[in-house]
Structure 1
Amino acid sequence: MKTKVNEIQISYKEKIKISDAPKICSSKDAAKLLFEFWDKGTIELQESFKILLLNNSNKVKGIYEISKGGISATYVDVRILFATVLKSLSVGIIMSHNHPSGQLKPSKADLELTSKVKAASNFFDIKVLDHLIISSNGEYLSFADEGLL
């Protein structure tokens, strides 16, 4: 009798041609796109963390929500983040999260997470292009623009 094990399926499905996907050229482009896809009903209430997945030409492959947390924090499992990046065959990412308080200043935890993800990304040859903090009115702080990356 053959031993039974669970089947593992890894998939990424393109709904639009990559040639038709938006290209990210600046933190402003990324923030505008992420804000467009943020749930406006919860952006002031609940912190969440998303990644923008990019190809070699900085064309957007997709946006994926890694975690949704509470009023003042959300937990980001770096293993899930990289599983998503690797499954989608992305070569670049832009991390993002919202601050329900509206404050755009990064916390110590924000800086530590950014550093941890950036260090781990080197093992996979994945570029961490930015980390954005987004507020409910669309304003943002870019770690790259501020020299925090």
Structure 2
Amino acid sequence: MEELLIESTRLKAAEVELIYKSRVKVADRFVIASSKDAYRLLSGTWNKDTIEMREELKVVFLNRAGHVLGIMTNSTGGIDATTVEIRHIFAAALKAHACSIIISHNHPSGALKPSRADDMMTEGIKQAGEILNIKLLDHLIVTTDGYFSYGDEGLIWPLFCSFHTQ
């Protein structure tokens, strides 16, 4: 009898539930049509007291029409790096039913030029999104003085494509 009890304990598993709840009406959601729109939205999400102290990566989730479904801080790091959790990005994107994403991170140094690590991260996220049919529209590097857009520089897609073309 005791042996059966132990066996049934091993067969237990947690229930997984996927829920996305938005308290914002579709008509009230911010629409992103350009890197400037994305920067305008994202620049308000950084803490002005720490933007030059530690690096953070944020993700904007969008529906097919470019409406913002939500923003998530993916990771917070140190003065010159942060660990990117690609699985976490796409788990949240799938949960929000996002059709596309925009990633953004800050450079505490104030440099707007992307590093080789930034390029590799961008490519990894782009490839993961392609598998899941979730398009990486842009990657913004944000500083207190402005931003750099991979999309505007043609570094994500070979030809300019509209944010809303899927």
Give the TM-score normalised by structure 2.
Answer: 0.85
Structure 1 residue corresponding to 2:127, chosen from 116, 119, 126? 119
Aligned to 2:150: 143
Cα deviation 1:10-68 (Å, max 9, x = unaligned): 22220111221011011000001000121222111110000110000000001001000
Tell me by how many angstroms 1:4 deviates.
3.0
Structure 2 residue corresponding to 1:20, chosen from 9, 18, 28? 28
Aligned to 1:39: 47
**Equivalents in 2 of 1:13, 1:36: separation in Å?**
23
Structure 1: where are the runs of 5+ without partners?
Answer: none
Aligned to 2:164: none
Aligned to 1:42, what secondary structure does the other structure show?
coil
**Equivalents in 2 of 1:116, 1:49: separation in Å?**
14
Aligned to 1:58: 66
Cα deviation 1:103-146 (Å, max 9, x = unaligned): 00000010001111111111111111100000023x00000111
Which of 1 and 2 has greater Rg? 2
Aligned to 1:122, what secondary structure does the other structure show?
helix
Aligned to 1:105: 113
Give the TM-score normalised by structure 1.
Answer: 0.94
Contact 1:51 1:95 in 2 (8 A): yes
Aligned to 1:73: 81
**Structure 1 segments (4+ residues) deviating >6 Å:** none
Cα deviation 1:73-122 (Å, max 9, x = unaligned): 00002111111111111001001000000000000010001111111111
* Counterpart residue type for residue 147 of structure 2: Y
Tell me by how many angstroms 1:5 deviates.
2.3
RMSD: 1.2
Contact 1:67 1:75 in 2 (8 A): yes
Aligned to 2:58, what secondary structure does the other structure show?
strand
- Aligned pairs, how many? 148
**Equivalents in 2 of 1:118, 1:144: separation in Å?**
12
